[in-house]
Amino acid sequence: MTLDKRLGQRFLPYGANYLDWSDMDELREAIDQGVLFRYQTDGESVASRLERRVAERLGAGHVLAVHNCTEALRLALISTRPRTGDLVHIPAVTFVAVAGAVLSSGLIPVLVDVDDSLSMDTTLLPPGTRRSIVAHMEGTVAPLPEGVPYVVEDCAQALGARFPDGRHAGTRGYAGTFSFHHNKVLTSGEGGLLVTGDRAAWETMRCYHDHGSARVPGHYPTWNQDAHFGENFVTSEGVAAIQYQQFRHLDALLAGLERMHALAMQELPDRPDLTVLPRAAGDVKISLRFRWESRELRDAAVAALTARSIANWTLGKYFLPEHPVLTGRRSLYGDGFPWNLAPAGPLALSRDGFARTRDLLDRTLCVPLSPELPEQEQVLAVKALRQTLEAV
């Protein structure tokens, strides 16, 4: 296998590289007990232990493990007890799951343009905004809006990131959501976490995520006399066990990303037509983000990196103003719900119709870092990257 093949294309990104059967004590325990449903055990479930560990690690008041990050976003929104048709302001550059979570909660997304870092431009939010989702994209810690009572932090790509004051991403807003999808900082294939400092909100989330009742471990099924309707977002012991294993490696993974990012910043070519987007100290440095002078140069770089099997991606797929979910306002409901509740006029806030953002995305290229590699192999990978970019 060539050096380019070995160090370039990363088929197992980030946490997947730390999966190891010898390190799966919690999973073996769940299988040995023959119980994979978290509320079937009389003692503390693996899922409860995971939630406690996450709370301690992130400094979060309350944690709930769920199937995936989209469900976590929905739970956070529903726990605010909105009226159907209420507006939720979301960034114009993020994964469509954010818009999907808003719509499936019976709410209406309003796209808000982003700044040069591709984080929501909070200065565009109108007075009286009540609900907003802020996405910490590509591990970059985004600023939170002031004066908005329900700010949900989407930390799907930013587990372990910190604000300048030292607090973890996800713990400053009303609620924070995390993803364990395959291509995330840590992975269990699918899976999500929801954190909040508001105990009453957590109690609401906990009930809704299991058919409207707070379950008593070892006495399932039971229900509250004041139960409301809910859904089934309950995680399994098997998934929670893998996530618990992954958390053991979070610090090592973050350190590996920091080390390779520092090496890359020393080695990257000095070209007037190429800018490396800066990273703050608290960002999770999952990738190097480049901005070229033109789309033609960006596309040439994509072709050159791909030819050497160096993994890379562009960000056009995150541009929600062009996504059919938003442009077509399609719905599976016969009456078009919830779009039929949307106010008249455009549901977007931008100073130039997103023209600047479209241009930024057309010129942006990302290259993932490899935290699991020893330092010497990281050096070789960075040199291969530099040589490829120099030749564009």
**pLDDT tens-digit series, residues 89-136:** 999 999 999 999 999 999 999 999 999 999 999 999 999 999 999 999
Per-residue pLDDT at 63: 98
Contact between residue 121 and residue 165 where contact means Cβ atoms under 8 Å apart: no
pLDDT of residue 3: 45
Domain at 16-249, CATH from 3.40.50.2020, 3.40.1390.10, 3.90.1200.10, 3.40.640.10: 3.40.640.10
Tokens of 309: 């099997």
H/E stretch holding 290 reads strand 287-292
Asked whether residue 7 carries a pLDDT value surpassing 60, the answer given is no
Nearest to residue 81, comparing CAs of 172, 203, 191? 203
Find, among 79, 75, 73, the residue nearest to 94 by Cα. 73
Q: Which residues of 266-290 are buried (b: 16+ CB within 10 A; e: fewer)?
A: eebeeeeebeebebeebbbbbbbbb
* Ranges of CATH 3.40.640.10 domains, the chain: 16-249
Region 15-25: what's the mean pLDDT? 93
Q: Which region, left, alpha or beta, applies to residue 158 given φ > 0 means left and ψ of -120 to 50 means alpha?
A: alpha
Q: Looking at domain 250-318+354-390, which of 3.30.300.30, 3.40.50.300, 3.30.1360.30, 3.90.1150.10 is its CATH number?
A: 3.90.1150.10
Q: Which tokens go with 22? A: 């010898």
Q: Where in the chain is the domain with CATH 3.90.1150.10?
A: 250-318+354-390
Q: Which residue has the tokens 């309350």?
A: 62
Q: Rounded to two decimals, what is the model's pTM?
A: 0.95
* pLDDT at 11 (0 to 100): 55
Say if residue 9's pLDDT is above 80.
Answer: no
Mean of the per-residue pLDDT values of the chain: 94
